[in-house]
A = this chain, B = another copy of it.
Amino acid sequence: MHSIRKSKNMAKPIYLYNTLTRRKEEFRPLHAPAVGMYVCGPTVYGDPHLGHVRPAVTFDLLFRLLRYEGYKVRYVRNITDVGHLENDADSGEDKIAKKARLEQLEPMEVAQYYTNRYHEFMDRLGVLRPSIEPHASGHVIEQIAMTQAILDAGYAYVSNGSVYFDVQKYVSDGYNYGILSGRNLDEMQSGGRSDDFEGEKRFAADFALWKRAAPEHIMRWPSPWSEGFPGWHLECSAMSAKYLGERFDIHGGGMDLMFPHHECEIAQSTAALGHASANYWVHNNMVTIGGQKMGKSLGNFITLEQLFTGDHRLLSQAYAPMVIRFFILQAHYRSTLDFSDGALLAAEKGLERLSKAWGLLASGRIRAAAVSTIPSPAGLLAECEEALCDDLNSPVAIARLFDWVRHVNALHDGTLSATEEDLLTLRGAFDTVLGTLLGLSLSPAGDTADRDNGRLGGVIDMILEVRQQAKLAKDWATSDLIRDRLAALGIRVKDRKDGADWELD
């Protein structure tokens, strides 16, 4: 509900790579200035990990850019909380029935815990909350209705209390199952996750719309076919239609979801509605770790908690959330991104350089001059905006900012000068690109706040004045003592011609 937009009327054209057409296309929303965007969210039965970060940050960047360009975005990101937890098989059905509800495992308690953790970590990563976060478990009625619509249209069949999508019928009617992923039917062995074969399916590529629950399955709802639960692909089709309409603009997610999940979504929507729902399918590429796919069995699985604390054998230190965010934005979202300790260390250094320049501009410590000897900063914002509008080219925008870090440092050293107006323009460009669009915040926030506005900076300035007087009186012992005691507190003094500056370690 808060608006972060540029102050002009015309939106710049935005180009997005559409997986559906396999080319970069100009983004034209169906009902401008309204934009509907649906992104596949987390399954909340485990701690948030690296695999959750890239889609969250990628579509946060797109959300921020669309809002900045003046669109009114309804951003829907689901919570997959229909879990496949089972009651302890050893207890036997009778024993379970006799146990009080309160003593039984409650999947929603697990889901709530991990949903809270996900939110907490995404907040720290500067990921804005979506407009709506619908829960799969809260939309079973809508999923039953869509299953019924697909049955009514003839593209599904009931088998032993479960309902399956009929891929052969869909294909024989001329629809392209494989339109998104480019796979052909022969390659497709099975349609979906947790899609037990059990001899119920007519065809290997068929996938479940509704599953009859086994006795030990905890989460279950009544339906016309059985007491059971919706198939995994159905929630996104049902919830996107409910909140964004039968046709909407953007559907996003990680590349690993392209098949079967998104392919099944398209088939479901087409079968139920007679047409596909999303116009632009946007996929971020995968993350690897040290060149390898991330996996629990490979021992290279890193949770966000581990990244933020450094408590993992592959990490030499803790990394701040903003370093992780910056690292992700340094790569284009359609490239693979390899996490390694070395690459994170480099990102940390890079972000420090940017933050320091940004901090200098924000602190007002660079004095304005009568004339500017820096290049005109007018183009900086436009160039960064253009890069982001070109299929979210964040690495190019960041490179433009780095070009300017050099100039900012020269302004601080006094080797270059800028007018008040140029300083304002420059500061505005850094604020908009780093803050509003890339979603980075000055880090560590506390130190910067102290340094720029707070007591710490004021007290350090006082002690440096004392030191300056000692130096003028050639009392080198006192001068050195002050420098050393500040160093022991993690405050590095940098002597300059006309006094001294300082920075925090």
Contacts and interface: CB of A to CB of B under 8 A. Distances in A.
Which bucket holds chain A's interface residue count? 35 or more
Interface string A333-347: 000000000000000
Interface stretch (A102-110, A281-289, A360-368, A385-393): A102-110
A186 B80 CA distance: 48
Contacts of A488: 458
8 contacts: A31-B100, A74-B109, A106-B132, A140-B141, A456-B456, A456-B459, A459-B489, A462-B463
A1 to B, nearest CB: 6
A113 interface: yes
A101 interface: yes
A139 B131 CA distance: 21
Interface string A122-142: 000000011111110111110
A108 B134 contact: yes
Interface of A: 1, 30-31, 34-36, 74, 100-103, 106, 108-109, 112-113, 116, 119, 129-135, 137-141, 145, 221-222, 243-246, 248, 446, 450, 455-456, 458-460, 462-463, 466, 482, 485-486, 488-491, 504
Nearest to A458: B489
Given A34-B102, A36-B102, 19 more contacts: A31-B103, A35-B102, A101-B243, A106-B132, A112-B130, A112-B132, A112-B133, A135-B138, A137-B138, A450-B450, A455-B491, A458-B485, A459-B459, A459-B460, A459-B486, A459-B491, A462-B482, A462-B486, A466-B466
A145 B220 CA distance: 13
A437 B222 CA distance: 42
Given A74-B106, A135-B138, A243-B108, A463 B455 contact: no
A461 to B, nearest CB: 9
Given A102-B74, A109-B74, A137-B138, A485 B456 contact: no
B133 A103 contact: no
Contacts of A489: 455, 458-459
A138 to B, nearest CB: 2
Contacts of A1: 113
Contacts of A100: 30-31, 34, 245
Contact of A132 (B35, B109, B119, B459): B109
A74 B139 CA distance: 24
A101 B36 CA distance: 10
A116 B131 CA distance: 10
Contact of A102 (B116, B222, B248): B248
A4 B139 CA distance: 35
B450 A222 contact: no
